[in-house]
Amino acid sequence: MVNISPEELDRLFQALSDQTRRNMLRTLSDGEQTVGALAKPHDMSLAAASKHIKVLEEAGLIRRDIRGRVHYCRIDPQPLAHARDWLRYYEQFWTQRLDALEQLLRSRTPAAAPQRRTRKPT
C-alpha cells in the first residue's frame, strides 16, 4: 500500500480537511506566493494565514523560503501523491465490490415473466 507512516497520513488529511488550506494549495499550484498573497483572498490577518501555512508545512504539503522579511511559499506535490495512493487502494476495493455486486445482480435477474392470456370478448 502507501509507504507513509500513519502519523504522517493523519497530518496530511488533517491539513487537507480545512477549506482555507485547500484553497491555499490550489493557489500555490499556479506557482510560488507570498504569505500576504495567500491571506488576501480569505480576508485574514498574516498571523491567521501563517497558522494555516504552518499546518500545511507540518504535513509536508508546502515549503516556505524567507527572503529578507518576505515569506514565500511553494507547493510540494509528494505528500499529495501519498494521499492519492492511499485513496487509490480504496477506489480499487470499492470497484471490485461493486463489480461483484453487479455480477450477482445480473445472475439473479429473473427470466422473462410469462405472458398473460387475454380473454376473447363474449
Least confident range of 7-21, 51-65, 70-84, 105-119 = 105-119
Q: How does pLDDT run across 16-70, given as a tens digit for each residue? A: 999 999 999 999 999 999 999 999 999 889 899 999 999 999 999 999 999 999 9
State the pTM of this model: 0.72
For 19, the 3-state DSSP assignment is helix
Checking if the pLDDT of 122 tops 90, the result is no
HSE on the CB side for 85, CA within 13 Å? 12
Name the residue with higher pLDDT: 56 or 113. Answer: 56
What pLDDT is attached to residue 61?
96
- How is residue 115 written as a grid cell? 405472458
What pLDDT is attached to residue 76?
94
What pLDDT is attached to residue 31?
95
Is-contact 71 65, C-beta < 8 A?
Answer: yes
Distance CA 40, CA 52 (A): 13
- β-sheet bridge partners, residue 62: 75
CATH class of 6-78: mainly alpha
